[in-house]
Amino acid sequence: MPPKFRVGIIGCGIAAQFFHAPAYRLLQDLIEVIAIADPNPENRNLVQAILPNLVKQYTSLETMFETEQVDMADIMLPHNLYADVIPRVAHYCRNILVEKPFARTLQDAQKILASTSGLNFSVVHNYIYGRRYKNALEVIASGKIGTPFMVRLENLNTGMASINPSLTTPWRNQSEGAGRGTFHDHGFHLVYLARALMGSEVIAVSASMGNYYKEGDALDTAVVTLFHENGGMSILLDGKLNNQEPEEVEEVLGTKGTLKINPVTDTMEKFKIDLQNLPRNEVLKNSPYASSTAACIMDFVNSVLTSKKLPVTADEAYRNLYITLAAYESYDQKRVVEIPKNLLI
């Protein structure tokens, strides 16, 4: 059996607990997390409790890289830290996977991408690996609904909390930590989903936003229209629901019919059994996202091992961020913002 691909996780918060650590359980035959770095010992211990093997724990990423032979860095941090941390990681590691949206501003994105040029750098677009979107893309490709002309993604959610809720930090609500707000954070997913479902690039963006919950200064609600090259439109609604189960209304309208995108709620059986002895397993096993994160990580690792084009290239991640941030420009300036066809990083 070939040696396992060795991963170092940087950041042991919500994304590591609910998405990446469970994903590495699914991938344990091929990939092994050997070390984790996070200054917060409680978060490190929560992630260790989910991982399938004992790992080395570090408070600093530099010490981790200087001590361990790591093939790949898997980074998930508050957004304001990426511009500092990713260039430091690039100094040590050739294969870098980073959580979305990977940068707070376009200037930070340019700095990050300059530091990772020539390396295998990719961003987690995990939703596209979700079964509901894979099924939808297959139906669209079959021609059943004709040519898509409208994508509707109303994707409201209740917000994220740590496995131990007392460890949840408020950076998401604050522009200093999160960037401008929900659309920059969660809406980033909706942008790449809309681009894929429409099968056509975005040429312009128009947006309205608000801060209704007043839990910080970040904009917590966004209504965004994307205009696509094929003449179609995407309507994106992103924000928070209080005291209610997530409400997702997602469909693609085509010239021959409409495709409703229904959540796939059944968690993989293997995954359910594997998680049953873990802390808060009832929460973890109901997370539909860990298996899509596993697919996303595996796709990245396969591309690295076979020297194939990365599933999400630096150009692709930058374009998605550019469109996402253009929504804020549209909101600020009350105008439709055009997206250049050729984006220079």
Ligand X SMILES: NC(=O)c1ccc[n+]([C@@H]2O[C@H](COP(=O)([O-])OP(=O)(O)OC[C@H]3O[C@@H](n4cnc5c(N)ncnc54)[C@H](O)[C@@H]3O)[C@@H](O)[C@H]2O)c1
Amino acid identity at 19: F
Paired residues of 235 in beta bridges: 152, 225
Stretch that binds ligand X, among 6-14, 21-29, 256-264, 274-282 (CB under 6 A): 6-14
Sheet architecture: strand order including 56-58: 56-58, 31-37, 5-10, 72-75, 95-98, 120-123
x-or-dash string of contact with ligand X, 119-158, rule CB under 6 A: -----x-x--------------------------------
Between 12 and 207, CB nearer to ligand X = 12
x-or-dash string of contact with ligand X, 79-118, rule CB under 6 A: x-x---x-------------xx------------------
Helix axes 187-198, 131-141, angle to 10 degrees: 20
Stretch that binds ligand X, among 21-29, 39-47, 211-219, 228-236 (CB under 6 A): 39-47
Q: How far is the CB of 142 from ligand X (least distance, A)?
A: 28
Between 202 and 321, CB nearer to ligand X = 321
The answer to whether the CB of 153 falls within 8 A of the CB of 160 is: no
- Residue 185 found at the interface with ligand X (CB under 6 A): yes
Q: 134 vs 141, 182, 289, CA distance in Å?
A: 11, 24, 13
Stretch that binds ligand X, among 78-86, 210-218, 268-276, 336-344 (CB under 6 A): 78-86
- Residue 336 found at the interface with ligand X (CB under 6 A): no
Tokens of 65: 């890289």
The DSSP secondary structure of 110-174, one letter per residue, reads HHHHHHTTTSEEEE--GGGGSHHHHHHHHHHHTTTT-SEEEEEEEEEE-----SSGGG--GGGGS
Instruction: Catalog residues that contact ligand X under the rule CB under 6 A.
Output: 10-15, 19, 37-40, 43, 61, 76-79, 81, 85, 99-100, 124, 126, 160, 162, 169, 171, 185, 289
